[in-house]
Each structure stands twice: as C-alpha cells, then as structure tokens.
Structure 1
Amino acid sequence: MKWDNIIGTTLLSFALICLVVLFWPTQNLSTLISFSIPDDLSGTLELIQSNRVLLGEKTEISLKVTIIGDQQGRQVLKLFNELELDNLEVTPKGEGIVIVVPSKPLVFKWTTIPLKAGTTSGTLWLFSESVYGDKDLILARPIRIETKTFLGFSSLSAKIFSLVILVIGVLIFFYSRILRILAI
C-alpha cells in the first residue's frame, strides 16, 4: 500500500469517527415529580434534560406540568417559572408567567448554550399563585450540567476541524489518481 493510501485512510477514518461522535445525539434524562399545593391541587412534573453537553452546543430543558384533580372552583391558576444557571446562555431569560388550562398539560421549554467548559449548577423554580395572591413553591430543583470540549475544541470548531481533516484525507487518498488524471 502506498504512503498516500495509508495516510489518506488514517485521516479519513479519524475524521469520520470524530464526526460520528460529534453528531451522535445525547441522551436526555427524564425525572417524574409529584406535587401538591395548599389550594387542594396536585399533579405531576416531568423534567427532561441532558446532563452532558458539548461546549457551544444548544440543548433544551423542558418541564411538563400536568394538573390532576378538580379545578372547577378555581377562577385562574397562574404558574411562575424561572431557570437560573451560571455560565449558560438561557432563553427565555427571567421569570415566566403562564395561566393554566386544567384539562391540558403545560410544557415549559428553555434553550441553553454553554459558554465555557466545566460543571454548571443552578435551580429550576416553579411557583403557583393562590386565589388569595400568595405564591406557593411547587419546585426548587437543582440542575447540574457538565459541559465538555471535544479534543479541546468547542462543538462548532471540532466539526469544522473534522470536515477539514476529511477533505485533506480524501485529497491525499486520491493524490496519485489526481496526478494521473491531470497528466492526461
């Protein structure tokens, strides 16, 4: 086997392995939490999040709220939510307020982008507002996300690097064939 085939095959293999690892979907964790509040309401919360992400890659955290029980006597149920995380860009920012329709589950979604590698900790807050205007805490859930780099690169840089290595590998692999075609 010629040197161009050996080096080309090695670079192609390396680039393809990197691209598969980079584009492989991360596993989301789902946590089911029961709750009840003083207004005789109860329900379940389903928190879906990824514990590990690549630097610079968007991830989603979602919280599905399902109210169980009779809400006939209530006029309005308001839920307040906020996701606080350090070193992550979180969208939407700040406190959100939603009026709940009892017969339908409600889903809160946040998009996060890690700004630096390391472990990020924060809290997901969920409050309800009672008929008297008092806020009742439903959830104060610690959130922990591990942000990793890939070979020292952010997600986008690693993808570009892998594509460049792939192109170089193809060119080296077909180097002698390209020279023969150009010589004709």
Structure 2
Amino acid sequence: MYNPVVKWNRITGIILLIMALVCLLISIWPVADHTIQIPFSISDEIAGKLELSNPDQMRVGDKTEIILRIVLDQDSQENQKLTLISKLELYNLEVTPRRESEVTIDRSIPLVLTWKITPRTSGIYSGTLWLFAEANTGDRSLILARPIQLVAKTLFGVSYQMARIIGFIGLITAIFLIFFPIIKQKLRGLAYNLM
C-alpha cells in the first residue's frame, strides 16, 4: 500500500544522511601543514637548521600545533651544548605554553618544540615566533623572529566540534527516518503472523 508520508520521510532521511555524511567528512578531514626549513648560525662553531611546521588554516574549537624542530650540524663542536629560549606570541588565542620556554639542546639529538593553539572565534591571527640562544653569561642572541599569520575558520558558521556533533545527530536521525518504516512494517508482519 502506497503511503506518501513514508515516501517523504525516506526522501528526507536520504537527503539528511547525505548532508550529515558531508558535514562529518569535512569536519574530520585533516588540515594540510606548511613546512619550511631555515638555516641558522650563531657563531663559527654553532650552526644548524630550523624546521617550522604550521597549519595552512586552523579550525575553530579544534587544537592546532605549531612545531619547531631544531637540528645542530654534525660538524659543530663535539660537546657543545646550547641553551635556547623560545616563545610564541599570538594574541587572542589560547597558546600552550604561554610563557618563554628554556631548554638545553645537545648536538647529537634534535630538539622538537611544540605549541598547542585553540582558536575560539574565526578570524586572522598574527604574532611572532621568537627563538634566542643564551650564553653562559646570560646574554641572548636572536636566532629567529618569524612572523606567524594563522587563519581560523568555522564550518557553516559553527565550530568544527559543534559541526561534528550536528553531523552525528543528523546521521542518527537520517537512519531513523530511512529504516523506521521498514522495521515498523516487519513488526506488523510479525504480529500479523502470530495472530
């Protein structure tokens, strides 16, 4: 027997299913990172390279990482250790760690510095990544002062976390709209057979 309500529920369910799957796919698709290598030298004895990785864009509500990898050249002095001070200044963003970080790097082991960023609103955020070398006397020499510009985006006007929740709810609703009439019909047939 033809029932137009069941037909429209099924069509609505299929459309909602497609929209929910698209929303979920877009919200979990990985963001591309941009990596650059920057050579540096502090003195004749200490040289190396910096490898800076940051995302092309950020997603509102999701954590993003900026990674700075520091590698000293192998031909640097054998037992030379280096104290580095780093800071990422990005205003109006949650940045961890917020303060200056001080680490000692060994020639043979690459050092990886990571900052976690969480944007709460969409927009363009600018700041600077600072890296200093500190001598035993306490004097600092600048290694890197790199301007950083990050774009935070929303998905359909909401945070990506909220878009995933909406997509999941839409998926459950779509499955219900598509399969409930079939299950209801099977149960009616089962009840009819029991009588």
Tell me how far apart the structure 2 counterparts of residues 50 and 159 of structure 1 sit (CA, whole Å): 20
* CA displacement, residues 130-173 of structure 1 (integer Å, 9 cap, x when unaligned): 24431000000111111001111111111111111111111111
| 2:82 corresponds to 1:77 | yes
Please give the TM-score of this superposition, normalised by the length of structure 2.
0.88
Instruction: State the shift of 1:39 in Å.
Output: 5.6
Task: Give yes or no for contact 2:79–2:107 (8 Å, CA) kept in 1.
Answer: no
Q: SS at 1:49's partner residue?
A: strand
Q: Which residue of 2 aligns with 1:115?
A: 120
Task: Give yes or no for contact 1:31–1:48 (8 Å, CA) kept in 2.
Answer: yes
Q: Which residue of 1 aligns with 2:147?
A: 142
Q: Which residue of 2 aligns with 1:86?
A: 91
Q: SS at 2:31's partner residue?
A: coil
* CA displacement, residues 5-30 of structure 1 (integer Å, 9 cap, x when unaligned): 21111100110011011101111111
Tell me how far apart the structure 2 counterparts of residues 34 and 49 of structure 1 sit (CA, whole Å): 17
Q: SS at 2:106's partner residue?
A: coil
- The code of the aligned residue for 1:155 comes to Y
Tell me how far apart the structure 1 counterparts of residues 106 and 49 of structure 2 sit (CA, whole Å): 15
What are structure 2's unaligned runs of at least 5 residues?
none
What are structure 1's unaligned runs of at least 5 residues?
none
* Corresponding pairs, count: 183
Structure of greater Rg: 2
Match among 105, 111, 118 for residue 106 of structure 1: 111
Please give the TM-score of this superposition, normalised by the length of structure 1.
0.93
Tell me how far apart the structure 2 counterparts of residues 19 and 96 of structure 1 sit (CA, whole Å): 37
- The code of the aligned residue for 1:4 comes to N
Instruction: State the shift of 1:175 in Å.
Output: 3.0
Large movers: runs of 4+ above 6 Å: none
- The code of the aligned residue for 1:158 comes to A
* CA displacement, residues 48-76 of structure 1 (integer Å, 9 cap, x when unaligned): 110211101011111000111322474x4
